[in-house]
Amino acid sequence: MKVAVIYDFAVNKGGGDFVMLNILEALNDARYEVSLLTSRPKGLHESAEFFGNPIPNVDIRHVKVPSYLRHPYTIAYVAREATKNGGDDYDAYLVSDDIPKCVANQRGVCYMHYPHAARFKFKEYIATRYKTTLRGRLAWRLHKALFPRLYLTDRKPENWLLIANSIVTRCHVAETFHVDEDVALLNPPVSARRINEAWRNNSLEKENLIVCVGRFEFEKRFIEVIRALAHLKKRNINVKLSLIGFKHDEGHLIKAIRELGVEENVELLVNAGRDVLINRLLRAKALVHPTPHEPFGIAVVEGMAAGCIPIVRRGFNGPWLEITKEGKYGFGFNNPEELASAIKKVIESYGSFDVEAIASRALEFDEAKFKRRLINLFESFMVA
């Protein structure tokens, strides 16, 4: 059976690439004939190297796109080129987040982290830069007008399987595409076992260190962690913070660090490699995730696998609802004061927590389990 995966690796670096790497590996291991249709043929190798995964044995088909196009419009262009001859070269198509209209009449699967289509309806998921600046608002208005011409935004194609990465995404996708609960749930893969083995086999001692991981965007709310750190410093509680993420808008964080006088307590690691991330997780006592609108939160699971106590935002989000089970496997907070209190408790009483239970919870999201569940879903759909 021939499967066409339409995806551009290494465009928005992060968990999405790791998910698609695992999808390619799962399809390849299940002996499907897989072709990666992409405008960035080198991206697969870059992502595999970054995450320490083997390069999937797939046929890479490079589709050149106009230089002025940006994601996600590059994907729509690649899809259009793939279906110029009717789209019958493949038995199924697989895409991430959104379904290009040109493949809607084919048979396919869409794995959704959080689709653009849902952002038009749930405006709290729109990036801050598109709401706070004139240039951003104009760009979003153009995007909102152009996107529905190329992608489905309000209906599910008859021959497509929609898979959501979390309860939050499934709920919003069902409402956006008017499909009630007709959306499968499959949490994303995490290299939990690999990280957990590194934690158990390393000789590093846990330090009074907390870690935050994510792209440096305003809506990630890393500033609140910096404020909590400043609050602790005033109480003579010495805590270090490692902020780790891909370059985006770290200027507002640098400013806050200086204004709050915590330069000696914070290290800002921009575009750090996986080895640096794992090192900090192995040394840290807590992983803090302050984002209020997070569909899942792969970094939270990674931290738990490394023996970190998770401290996450309470609310309708993945870290609170699905990963920590509303505080069963960690702490929740609503403001910097509550966050500071939780950090203090973890730092001073780390040895009293059931870290083994937290690490075991992380292993439930391991990539091997994801692959098995994905293939089961895919094969059930294809024979239906």
Q: What does the pLDDT read at residue 247?
A: 83
Q: What does the pLDDT read at residue 26?
A: 97
Q: What distance, in Å, lies between the first and last C-alpha atoms of the chain?
A: 15
pLDDT in tens for each of the 384 residues of the chain?
Answer: 999 999 999 998 888 999 999 999 999 999 999 999 999 999 999 999 999 999 999 999 999 999 999 999 999 999 999 888 666 789 999 999 999 999 999 999 999 999 999 999 999 999 888 988 899 999 999 999 999 999 999 999 999 999 999 999 999 999 999 997 789 999 999 999 999 999 999 988 999 999 999 989 889 999 999 999 999 999 999 999 999 998 878 889 999 999 999 999 999 999 999 999 999 999 999 999 999 999 999 999 999 999 999 999 999 999 999 999 999 999 999 999 999 999 999 999 999 999 999 999 999 999 999 999 999 999 999 987
Contacts of 301 (CB under 8 A, 6+ apart): 190, 192, 323, 362, 365
Cβ pair 215, 269 in contact under 8 A:
no
For residue 272, the one-letter residue type is: A
Tokens of 323: 């990963």
Q: What does the pLDDT read at residue 248?
A: 79
Q: Which domains does the chain have, with CATH numbers?
A: 2-189+366-383 (3.40.50.2000), 192-363 (3.40.50.2000)
Q: What does the pLDDT read at residue 84?
A: 83
Which residue(s) pair with 163 in the sheet? 111, 184
Contacts of 318 (CB under 8 A, 6+ apart): 165, 166, 167, 168, 294, 295, 296, 297
Q: What does the pLDDT read at residue 149?
A: 97
Phi, psi at 36, each rounded to 5°: -95, 115
User: Residue written as tokens 């208005």?
Assistant: 141
Contacts of 298 (CB under 8 A, 6+ apart): 15, 18, 188, 190
